[in-house]
Amino acid sequence: MERALMIWLEDCITKKIPISGNLIKQKALKIYEHLRNIGHSYAGLQNHSFVASKGWFEKLKKRYTLHNIKFQGEQASADAEAAENYKLELARIINEGGYSPDQIFNADETALYWKKLPSRTFISKNQRRAQGFKASKERITLHVCSNLSGSLMIKPMIINRSSTPRVMKNINKTQLPVFWRSNKKAWMTQDLFKDWFYNCFIPAVEIYTMEKNLYFKVLLVLDNAGCHNIELDHPNVKMVFLPPNCTSLIQPLDQGVIQTLKMYYTRQLFQTIFDRLENSENKTLTQVWKEFTILDCIRTVSSACAEIKPSTLNACWKPLLPQMVQAIQDDSTISLPVSEIVNIASRLSDEEFVVSHQDVRELVLGEETLDEEELMELIDAPTSNALLNENMENEWVPNLDLQDVKKGLNLAKELELHFIQIDHSTVRSAKFKRELRNCLAPYREVLVELEKKATIENQCEDEPSEEDILPIKRRRVRRLIFDSEDEC
C-alpha cells in the first residue's frame, strides 16, 4: 500500500499539486480500500483495519524521509522572499555572463492525458462503465523548452510508456517532429534528461546560434526537480536552478506557456475529431474518438507548439526577469481557444458531446492525480537501474554505430595533430584544439553511452539461461527521497 502511496505522492510533486497531511491520509485510505476490494492478501488486509492515524503518518514521514516536503500552507512568505532574492542573483549571472535574451532558456515537464475529454461528456461517462477501455488515462510526459526572446522553441520531447506502439511499428522515430523516448512510467528520469540535453537541446541550440550569428554560449534555467539534478558537463552551457518551492512563482514556462500549449492541443484534438466525423458517414463520434492514436497525438503536439507566439514565450519570463521582457501577456491565448473548442463541440450536433466553457477550463487547466487502478499498474514498473538499462537498450540514438563514432573521433584526433604540427602559432593552434574538442564533446558522450550499451549486451549474452538456474523470489524495495516539492 505504501509503495503505491509513494508513487502517487511522487506524481503529485512532479505535477506541482499542493500536498497536505490530510490529503495523504485520505489517499492512503482509498488505496487500502481498493486493495481490500480486489482481494489483495498482503499483510492480512482482509483481517485488519487501517485508519491512517497521526502516528502512522509520522512514521511514514520518517520511513520515506518526507520531512523535506513542503506541505500546503507552509512557508509561503519564505518562498516569496527566496524567489525575490533569486531574481537578483539570476540578473547578476546574466550580466556577468553577457547573455542576451536569445541565449537564455527554460525547460519544464508536464503530464498530458492526450485523449481525455471533458468529464461531463457522454463519452467520458461511458468510459467509466466500460471494462478494458481506459483511453482517458493514456498519459505521456511532455517536455518543452524555449528561450527568453521567444525566437526558439526546441522540438518537444514526449515520454511514452511504450517504446514502439502498434501504430508506430514501421515509423522511423528519428524523423518524428518530437524527441521520442519511453519508460514504463512515462516519467522524466535523470537518464532521459541527459539524453535530451546532449541529443536534442545541444544540437538545436548550436544550429540556432550559428544561424543568428551568435556565440554558442547559453544559460539553461531549470527547477530543482530530482530528474534535473545531474552533472552535465558542456563548455558552452551554464545550468542554474530555481530555489526550492518557488517554481509556481517564477518558473517561466509555468506562467502560461504550458497552459496555452495544452489549450491549443485540445482545440486541435476537437477539430480533428470533427473533421474525421465529417468524412466518415458510417462512424459514430465514439468510434472516431477511439481511432485517435498516439501518432495523431505526436502530430498535434508539434502543431500546437508551432502555434505558440514568440510574444507568449517572452511574456512568461516577466515574473523572473521583468527587465528583459518586451511582450505583454495576452489573456486571449486562453480565452479564445476555449470559445473555439466549445464552438466546435456545438457543431457536432451530438448529445454525446455537450461541453461548456467551464468544462474545457477544468479539462485543460486542472491537474489530475493517479487513481488507484493506475497506481496498481505502476507499482511493479522498473525503476532506477532497471530504467537505465531499458533506456539504453531501446532508446539510445539508433542511427549511430559504436565503430563509426570511434572512427570519427580518431579522424578528429588526426586532424588536431595535423594542424598542431604544421602551425607555428601556438596561440592559433591552441585555440583550434580547444574549439575542436568543444565541438566533439557531444560525440564523446555518445561514445560512452554506446560502450555502456555494448557492455550490457555482452553481459546478457554471457548470463545462464532460465533453464540452467533455479528460480528465486526477489523482493523489490523502493525508497523515495524528496528534496523539494518538484522531485521527479
List residues bridging with 182 in a β-sheet: 160
Question: Do both 166 and 305 map to the same domain?
Answer: yes
Residue 182 lies in a domain: yes
347-366 confidence digits (pLDDT tens): 765 555 566 777 777 777 66
> If pLDDT is split at 50, 70 and 90, which confidence band does 125 have?
very low
Question: Which of 19-28, 64-73, 265-274, 422-431 shows the lowest per-residue confidence on average (mean pLDDT)?
Answer: 64-73
pLDDT at position 424: 85
Q: What is the mean pLDDT of residues 312-317?
A: 94
In this structure, the number of other CB atoms found within 10 A of the CB of residue 368 comes to: 17
Q: What is the dihedral of CA 250, 255, 259, 264, to 10 degrees?
A: -130
pLDDT at position 67: 54
In this structure, the number of other CB atoms found within 10 A of the CB of residue 264 comes to: 22
Residue 32 lies in a domain: yes
Question: Do both 182 and 56 map to the same domain?
Answer: no
pLDDT at position 136: 56
Question: Which of 143-152, 171-180, 324-333 shows the lowest per-residue confidence on average (mean pLDDT)?
Answer: 324-333
Residue 234 lies in a domain: yes
Q: Is 245 left (phi over 0), alpha (psi -120 to 50) or beta?
A: left
- Alpha-carbon distance of 265 to 257, in angstroms, equals 12
Q: What angle do CA 410, 444, 388 make, to 5 degrees?
A: 140
Residue 154 has pLDDT above 80, yes or no: yes
> If pLDDT is split at 50, 70 and 90, which confidence band does 156 have?
very high
What are 335's three cell numbers? 480565452
Question: Do both 55 and 201 map to the same domain?
Answer: no
Q: State how far the alpha carbon of 289 is from the alpha carbons of 54, 142, 253, 353, in Å.
A: 45, 21, 30, 11
Sign of CA dihedral 298, 301, 305, 306: positive
Strands 218-222 and 237-241: parallel
In this structure, the number of other CB atoms found within 10 A of the CB of residue 2 comes to: 14
Q: Greater confidence, 115 or 345?
A: 115
Domain span at 26: 1-41+48-64
Best-predicted range by mean pLDDT (19-33, 127-141, 209-223, 252-266): 209-223
pLDDT at position 258: 93
Residue 300: which CATH number?
A: 3.30.420
pLDDT at position 157: 98
> If pLDDT is split at 50, 70 and 90, which confidence band does 332 have?
low
Kindly report the average pLDDT of the chain as a whole number: 78
Question: Do both 90 and 10 map to the same domain?
Answer: no
Indicate whether this model's pTM tops 0.85.
no
Question: Do both 55 and 112 map to the same domain?
Answer: no
Question: Do both 23 and 88 map to the same domain?
Answer: no
Question: Do both 58 and 87 map to the same domain?
Answer: no
What are 2's three cell numbers? 505504501
Write out the E strands in 200-351: 218-222, 237-241
Residue 380 lies in a domain: no
Q: Greater confidence, 415 or 134?
A: 415
Q: Greater confidence, 105 or 48?
A: 105
Question: Which of 18-27, 36-45, 79-88, 264-273 shows the lowest per-residue confidence on average (mean pLDDT)?
Answer: 36-45
Characterize 147-165 residue by residue with b for buried, 16 or more Cβ atoms within 10 angstroms of its Cβ, and e for exposed. Answer: bbbbebbbbbbbbbbebee
Q: Greater confidence, 139 or 63?
A: 139
Question: Do both 150 and 216 map to the same domain?
Answer: yes
Q: What is the mean pLDDT of residues 178-206?
A: 94
Question: Do both 254 and 288 map to the same domain?
Answer: yes
Q: Greater confidence, 9 or 134?
A: 9
CA atoms within a 13 Å half-sphere pointing along the CA-CB vector of 484: 22
Question: Do both 322 and 186 map to the same domain?
Answer: yes
Question: Which of 96-110, 213-227, 419-433 shows the lowest per-residue confidence on average (mean pLDDT)?
Answer: 419-433
Q: How many domains does the chain have?
A: 2
Question: Do both 20 and 85 map to the same domain?
Answer: no
Final residue belonging to a domain, choices 345, 375, 405: 375
Question: Do both 85 and 227 map to the same domain?
Answer: yes
Q: What is the mean pLDDT of residues 164-180?
A: 93
Q: Greater confidence, 313 or 383?
A: 313
- Alpha-carbon distance of 209 to 166, in angstroms, equals 38
Q: What is the mean pLDDT of residues 371-389?
A: 53
Please, what's the largest Cα pairwise distance for the chain? 85
Residue 33 lies in a domain: yes
pLDDT at position 144: 98
232-269 confidence digits (pLDDT tens): 989 999 999 999 878 888 999 998 899 999 999 999 99
Residue 473 lies in a domain: no
Residue 232 lies in a domain: yes
Q: What are phi and psi of 367, to 5 degrees?
A: -105, 130
Question: Which of 10-14, 203-207, 409-413, 445-449 shows the lowest per-residue confidence on average (mean pLDDT)?
Answer: 10-14
Q: Which residues contact 415 (CB under 8 A, 6 or more apart)?
A: 436
- Alpha-carbon distance of 411 to 155, in angstroms, equals 31
Residue 482 lies in a domain: no
